Structure 1
Amino acid sequence: MSHTGRGPRKSSPAVSLSDLIARARRDVDDGTLPSCQIAVAREGELVAWESFGAAPATRLTIFSITKALVASAIWLLVGEELLTYDTRVADLVPEFATHGKDAVTIDHLLLHTAGFARAPMHPEEGADPVRRLERFASWRLDWPPGTQTDYHPTSAHWVLAEVIERASSVDFRAFVNERVCAELGLDYLRLGFDELDQRGVADVVIVGDAADLGTITRSGGESFTVPEIRGDILLRYNDPKVRAAGVPGAGAVSTAADVAMFFQALMRNRNDLWKADVLSDATLHVYNRFPDPYVTVPANRTRGLVQAGDDGFAVMRSFGEGVSARAFASPGVGGQTAWADPQT
């Protein structure tokens, strides 16, 4: 599933969209993919929305695109002065302060510099407030916060979920769904799905060799494993209980159209949802340029997103070749991606 929030840049819209849609259709028709959704939006309007192999209203698990949605909830709280990026997590969540984690800030969580990238949290634990805190207390740091980066597949965003609840006194799923999705009129974008009624959500399907999932090979040939993106773990997102948990780093569901319109909202601040300076800072300013151990180029992370940058490595950050340096994205496992380009 691919999503984009930018208009075409180098060739005419008719040719660019036609080629893109034809490629998506071909990959489904020849069996490469079981289904594919693609949406393109520009100037606040959808200009293309296609679904192959599934009904247009079918929702798919959007995995790490979820991180941008949760980050946008944090931006609301910052704009309302209920917390700052320098706020220590332990000041809001004292149970988190064990094993030296008292130095971790909101910024560290958003920038993937918190120091506990592989800290475990089963969805069922995260959905239970008591078990969630017990798991937090067991986590240990792998490095001092703010001194290096490594992608935190789910751990940092479970902490952000707890922060949302402590700062707002609202369940993190309800806060995201009501304060972000509903305010933007995005009816198909949702974090945490009714366990008893999950009609219209497509199952995750493994395509190709499942053993290859979860194994990352650096350009120099060194390989390492990321457990959270193993095939057996990804298939757990078909479990109604896991969908209901609303894993805050990976568990939202949506159509491509709603994802594209969400990224349009990030560019245009639809309904003035966010405080203008907070949104501009979060989408345009890079605060993490540490080398990304996955791709060995600067991470180029904003407070919740990835920026393409002008250093020639945009493609390695999951962007298309034609985007501007200011384009921002939130890529997900399995080939999903969403990006927006303010300059085009």
Structure 2
Amino acid sequence: MKVESAISGHCAEKFRAVKESFHANFEAGKEIGAAIALYVDGELAIDLWAGHHDVEREVPWERDTIVNVWSTTKGVTAACFALAVDRGLCRYDDKVADYWPEFAARGKEDVSIAELLSHQAGLSAFAEPTTVDDFVNGRALAGSLAQQAPLWPPGSRSGYHAITIGFLAAELFRRIEGRSLASFVEQELAPFDIHIGIRDSELGRVANVIPPVGMTAEGVVPELDELQSATLGNPPLEPEAANTKNWRRAEIPSANGFANARGLAGLYSSLLLGAPEAKFRLSSETVKQATDIRWSGTDAILNIEANWAAGFLRNSLSIYGPHAAAFGHSGWGGSFAFADPESGLAFAYVMNAMGAELVGDPRAVALVGAVYEAL
């Protein structure tokens, strides 16, 4: 059966080339299951899905299929902090220690919320040996991180807090807002069908991630230095962890978000235009503060050019199209979601067949390129 007949959903005729690019990724054998969604000026122009949950291609990918989106989760976490700021619960320039006094230990008393969210706090690695199974005790890990000495003077550089930012953000958010980040997402972002961790009752619609053979987090960056090894290798993280019970039950706002493309694109569109169904509308000033670049340069962990905002990745290396103001986040293996204020669009892509590229996954490049060509 041709893949084209198996693509479900709808696509505005103007964006037919995007559907064709989506189809081509399947035809080339680059996908097992995937979905894309595009909002333009608040209207859902593309909502497509195809393929299967599993490598055996026995369970079809459905409209409500969700999948672990790895670091694309960080953009959801950034959106939650933007909502807290917009509601007057905190300010980006506030000190983390104002809400979490224990965090001030060992020279971190002046770290601001914006610096923490933009990977400048110097807490990219756990000081003690840690296992993936420890992630179910996120508050204990956050407490340990709060007591650590920073790995560099806070504010002097950025270094991607690949996993640790999730536990840090979760504890800080709980102290600011009162609810856990996972609960906040379930309650406040319910219309978008996004989850941090996933309930057992929802597992039937979760697609397993399917990585290339031998893929590990340490392999993301070649020739690791000591800091990179500490960050990406403790604990050793294999992508199949996302398919385990402990991972799915944990609260890891840096890496275990479960979502589909429609929900992610809808969330980013709502950051620009408001979300009546979710009962929120961010002020333009909050959006500006959330997406202002807080650090620009070579990231000390990823060793690539990055423009870090307050939890969002501002467009760099043109991964989110041609406009510098675009903001979002991408995940290990290829997923991404972003908004482009200049074009009034929000676009997301999720999949279960993970790619090996840190930047420039050819599937994503083709999809984003097709969107802007259609515009």
TM-score normalised over the length of structure 1:
0.81
Select which of 199, 205, 215 maps to 2:220.
215
1:236 maps to which residue? 241
Looking at secondary structure, tell me which structure has more strand per residue: 2
Give SS of 1:41's match. Answer: strand
Using the TM superposition, name which of 118-127 and 50-59 deviates more. 118-127
- Write the distance in 2 (CA, Å) between the matches of 1:212 and 1:123: 12
2:63 maps to which residue? 56
Give the aligned residue type for 2:323. Answer: S
1:287 maps to which residue? 294
Give the aligned residue type for 1:132. Answer: L
What CA deviation, in whole Å up to 9, does each residue of 1:49-84 have, x standing for no partner?
111212222101111111111111112222232222
1:85 maps to which residue? 92
What CA deviation, in whole Å up to 9, does each residue of 1:176-200 have, x standing for no partner?
2212x12xx21x2111211354110
Give the aligned residue type for 1:324. Answer: H
Give SS of 1:164's match. Answer: helix
1:203 maps to which residue? 208
Query: Does the alignment pair 1:259 with 2:270?
Result: no
Distance 1:50-1:87 versus aligned 2 partners, 3 A rule: same
The CA RMSD measured in Å over matched residues stands at 3.0
- Write the distance in 1 (CA, Å) between the matches of 2:250 and 2:295: 29
1:163 maps to which residue? 172
Q: For residue 265 of structure 1, report the CA deviation from its aligned partner.
A: 0.7
Alignment gaps of 5+ in structure 1 = 1-12
Distance 1:72-1:42 versus aligned 2 partners, 3 A rule: same
Contact 1:217 1:224 in 2 (8 A): no
- Write the distance in 2 (CA, Å) between the matches of 1:126 and 1:208: 24
Query: Does the alignment pair 1:75 with 2:82?
Result: yes
Give the aligned residue type for 1:325. Answer: A
Runs of 4+ in 1 over 4 A off after TM superposition: 120-124, 223-226, 228-232
Select which of 35, 38, 43 maps to 1:37.
35
Q: For residue 237 of structure 1, report the CA deviation from its aligned partner.
A: 1.2
2:320 maps to which residue? 319
Distance 1:170-1:227 versus aligned 2 partners, 3 A rule: same
1:46 maps to which residue? 44
- Write the distance in 2 (CA, Å) between the matches of 1:211 and 1:109: 26
2:333 maps to which residue? 334
- Write the distance in 2 (CA, Å) between the matches of 1:228 and 1:34: 28
Contact 1:116 1:152 in 2 (8 A): yes
- Write the distance in 1 (CA, Å) between the matches of 2:198 and 2:155: 34
2:362 maps to which residue? none
Contact 1:95 1:136 in 2 (8 A): no
Query: Does the alignment pair 1:178 with 2:187?
Result: yes
Using the TM superposition, name which of 267-276 and 245-254 deviates more. 267-276
2:274 maps to which residue? 269
Give SS of 1:63's match. Answer: coil
- Write the distance in 2 (CA, Å) between the matches of 1:341 and 1:229: 35
Q: For residue 213 of structure 1, report the CA deviation from its aligned partner.
A: 6.2
2:54 maps to which residue? none
- Write the distance in 2 (CA, Å) between the matches of 1:95 and 1:212: 30
Alignment gaps of 5+ in structure 2 = 1-11, 52-60, 344-375
Contact 1:214 1:229 in 2 (8 A): no
Distance 1:196-1:231 versus aligned 2 partners, 3 A rule: farther
What CA deviation, in whole Å up to 9, does each residue of 1:226-253 have, x standing for no partner?
6279995321111122112131111111
- Write the distance in 2 (CA, Å) between the matches of 1:340 and 1:275: 14
What CA deviation, in whole Å up to 9, does each residue of 1:241-285 have, x standing for no partner?
211213111111111111111111111122362440443224542
Query: Does the alignment pair 1:247 with 2:252?
Result: yes
What CA deviation, in whole Å up to 9, does each residue of 1:145-170 have, x standing for no partner?
11111111121231111111112222
Give the number of equivalent residue pairs.
316
Select which of 284, 288, 302 maps to 2:309.
302
Contact 2:270 2:281 in 1 (8 A): no
Q: For residue 142 of structure 1, report the CA deviation from its aligned partner.
A: 0.9
2:7 maps to which residue? none
TM-score normalised over the length of structure 2:
0.75
Select which of 99, 106, 111 maps to 2:106.
99
1:150 maps to which residue? 159
Give SS of 1:108's match. Answer: helix
